[in-house]
Amino acid sequence: MADEDKRRARPVPASRLGRLAGFSGLAGGMVAGALGEGARRLAAGERPSMDQLLLTPGNAKRMADKLSHMRGAAMKLGQMISMDAGDVLPPELSAILARLREQADFMPPRQLDKVLAEQWGADWRKLFRRFEPRPIAAASIGQVHRALTRDGRAVAIKVQYPGVAKSIESDVDNVAGLLRMTGLLPDSLDIAPMLAAAKEQLREEADYEREGRMMQVYAELLEGDTRFVIPELQPDLTRPHILAMSFEEGRPIEALADEPQDLRDSVFGSFIELVGRELFDFGFMQTDPNFANYRFRADTGQVVLLDFGAARKVDPAVASHYRRLLQAGLDEDRERVREEAVAAGFISPQALARHPERISRAIDIIVTEMARPGQFDFGDRAFVPEITNEAMPIAKDKQSWHVPPPETLFVQRKVSGTALLGARLKARVDVRSIVGDLLAETAT
């Protein structure tokens, strides 16, 4: 095994005590780092605040490394926050969470064998002609292996890390505690609904048998749409902590960025249409837009869709809010956009009362950009600093903070993540036409 492999093959802390020790060690390390940084700055004549001391580059790396090692809900929650927050996160927190979007460590062979034996039995190797011990992917909740069954099926086997399902409650609470310790989350902010929703979704994602059913539901919804490929569930090999599916060839979706502009535009236009169908037609959405959940087939132009643990029904009320908000945007009715954004929970009444001009200017920038005729260039981010310039003072005003309804957050995570993919691919798409057609076709 190469040095890089040895570095990344680290056992997952599986016991409650082991995971608690991990969080305790992280908190202690961050405090020690803050004390050292404080002494250095005081000697230089500075008077730093506690959050400045805790959010040093060293502590950012320390937190990211520890959460990546622990995996499970701890790492997953960090990923969820990073995808939700877009471009308005404080830079210190962005540095921490960006690292969590990278691949996690993976289990060493001995721990992997123990998990497989618990799920399939001690003689599990007899099920396969070949089982590749090194995972082809490692994420927050599980890692994926390629295998060939005795009857010749090429399969992908997702194996859940031990202890993940049992540690969801404590992991989420401990991550929230760490964020509060840094001062990034004010005591006045009620995050209980978001934490409860995060725990519910993580419990669903840890149920691999449920994920298998969701994958089948999604395949039925997309039946006949040859633009997308859904793996086929392998029920005989699936267990509560093992999900078996057909192995589907494909390159990372980022590889699409090297393809001709017209192909990038066409494929990403399909993504936008798919999100609209999920929201306004299917009433069912895969809410995790992590880039690793998409694979690209250059020979056919198809996209392989993966990971349905976060698939869920869309609350009709949330879909209605999005419909009215988008229609107001298409109509270029800025006052109605503001009203619908407040009604949907994107903007709090407190923020509107405290920063009315900034909110109006941000809305004007967005509506103006989206109203331009023809293709919208996702690669042109020139307007983003303008929005950030208006949003950051609001984000820093902790009296204006609030948490949108959890069901809205789930949907917005998919919408925001899809836009980030468009930026990565530098796609150009006539968003107005796609959205307008979808709203008209799905109107009741």
Residues marked active site are found at 288
The per-residue b/e assignment along 27-56, b for 16 or more CB within 10 angstroms, e otherwise, is bebbeebbeebbeeeeeeeeebeeebbbbb
Q: What is the spatial distance between Cα 393 and Cα 185, in angstroms, rounded to a whole number?
A: 16
Helix axes of 57-70 and 72-85: crossing angle, nearest 10 degrees: 130
Token pair 């230089």 in the structure block, residue:
44
* Backbone angle region of 304, left / alpha / beta, with phi > 0 → left and psi within -120 to 50 → alpha: beta
The CA-based angle 172-175-179, given to 5 degrees, is 135
HSE-CB at 39 with a 13 A cutoff on CA atoms is: 5
**Whether 280 contacts 439, CB under 8 Å:** yes
> 4 Cβ partners below 8 Å, 6+ apart?
none
DSSP string for residues in 125-165: GGGEEEE-SS-SEE-SSEEEEEEEETT--EEEEEEEPTTTG
How far apart are the two ends of the chain, measured CA to CA in Å?
A: 59
Token pair 């020790």 in the structure block, residue:
21
**Whether 326 contacts 439, CB under 8 Å:** yes
DSSP reduced 3-state for 347: coil
